[in-house]
Amino acid sequence: MGLTITAPAKHTAAGQYLGYALQPVRLCYHLLTCEDGASVSIEHIDDVAIHTAAGNVIREQTKSALTQNPLSDWAVDLWKTVHIWMESVAMDETDVTTIRFRYYVTPTKVGAIAGKLSKATTAAEVAAITGEIKKALGRKKPACLQYLQTFLNATDAQRTAAISRMMIVSTDEDPVEPIRERFRNAVRPEILDNACHSIIGMAKEEADRLIRRGKPALISSDDFRQKVRAFIGTITFTSTLTSLVPAPSNTEVAGLLSSRPTFIRQLELIQTSSDENLRAVSDFLRASADKSYWAEKGLIFEASLDDLDSNLIARQTAIAGEVGDLHGDMAPETRGRLVYHRCIQVSLPLEGRAVPGHFVPGCFNSLANLRRLGWHPDHASLLDKDP
């Protein structure tokens, strides 16, 4: 094995990783790059692990080195990782004939002892580095000593079994960059980061779904790649506009809902359910973000949004008139709910292209927020009474 160091990548994200923690980023990367038929797990037998169809396993520990160096000689992270792997070997929890260990550190760092550990592949090389470590340690009592002791107390055979199968990788200034490279030729530059964000999110959501069901987060790379190919098709197919902006968090949705913006007050007038109100807030936020993103990236003409608004207002007026004619005997709140429910089921394209399911409902609520339309037959006067 070997310690691999390269020059910093030109594009660095300074630890943001497009909003994701390091483990989901590495999960996604391995799902995209591992051999056919393999599966990748997260928080199952290690931070991340690759499981090949032939039964071989690569266990990976991931470390973000933004404020410290996990490859320094006495780094607690380094020796804690070695301790975990040594114990798994010593206790026969690991089949050394099929296992490999990888210690992944980003951004790029170096360490003298770490480099030698990574290069040691024979019993003689492992014994030599063990002697050097004992000599360098001397009477020191570094913070890592409790973990280092596992390595020092192991038998020669156990040390050789673990260390000869260990590889240290510190090549990426930005761990998302290798994912970008996979799609750089297929995705327009202006949406590349958002596409990568969505793909990483697909991997994380699949893992979360399995965990919620009480199953190991073990994902088929073949299935994942098929989903990614379909996704890439939607964002490169000119008749579709894809939402590439992250969905709002539960905190954002709850915060806006509690502030009772005008479109929520409009829904309160027709007594919609709390679930409908939460969905309305989410759709409103997502549609607003989509409009800004598509216009900023030049994916649509901003004037097209005005045309869409006019069409939505005309559609709502027609629906409200029809409901009034057919159901004039209903309570005004009920008629308003009927108008709202029919409106949010409307499907209209933008510039002839299909839009995500949340977009038109979000646009309707945006217009309701501006009071350019309303659901209750007397919405204007009722809102004036409760400004």
Q: What digits encode the pLDDT tens for the residues 131-143?
A: 999 999 988 899 9
Is 326 a member of any domain? yes
Which domain covers residue 176, as residue numbers? 4-230
Report if residue 270 sits inside a domain: yes
Domain end among 197, 230, 263: 230
Q: Mark whether 204 and 290 lie in a shared domain.
A: no
Residue 67 in this model has a pLDDT that exceeds 90 = no
Domain count of the fold of the chain:
2
Res 61: pLDDT:
96
Q: How far apart are the first and last CA of the chain?
A: 69
pLDDT band per the 50, 70, 90 thresholds, residue 16: low
Taking residues 347-353, report their average pLDDT.
91
DSSP state letters, 111-180: -HHHHHHHH--SHHHHHHHHHHHHHHHTT---TTHHHHHHHHHS-HHHHHHHHTTEEEEE--SSTTHHHH
Please indicate, yes or no, if residue 114 is contained in any of the structural domains: yes
* Arithmetic mean of pLDDT over the chain: 91
In a domain, 238, yes or no: no
Q: What percent of the chain has pLDDT over 90?
A: 80
136 with 263, same domain: the answer is: no
Given a cut of 60, whether residue 11 has pLDDT beyond it is no
Assess whether 273 and 330 both reside in one domain.
yes
Asked if residue 358 lies in contact with residue 294, where contact means CB atoms within 8 angstroms, the answer is no
Are both 216 and 107 inside the same structural domain?
yes
| Domain match, 199 and 275 both | no
Q: How far is CA 85 from CA 3, 74, 126, 163, 309, in A?
A: 18, 17, 15, 9, 60
pTM across the whole model = 0.71
Within this chain, do residues 204 and 261 fall inside the same structural domain, yes or no?
no
Same domain, 164 and 283: no
User: Are residues 168 and 270 part of one domain?
Assistant: no
pLDDT at 20: 87
Domain shared by 31 and 172, yes or no = yes
Does 71 fall in a domain? yes
| 161: Cα separation from own chain's centroid | 35
Residues 169 and 291 in one domain: no
Instruction: Report d(CA 247, CA 172) in Å as an integer.
Output: 28
Tell which wins on pLDDT, 303 or 261: 261
Same domain, 101 and 13: yes
Question: 334 and 275: one domain?
Answer: yes
Whether 301 maps to a domain, the answer reads: yes
Boundary of a domain, candidates 230, 259, 274: 230
Residue 17 predicted with pLDDT over 80: no
Residues 59, 46 contacting (CB under 8 angstroms): yes
Interval 269-317: pLDDT, tens: 999 999 999 999 999 999 999 999 998 888 888 889 999 999 999 999 9
Q: Per-residue pLDDT averaged across 326-350, rounded? A: 96
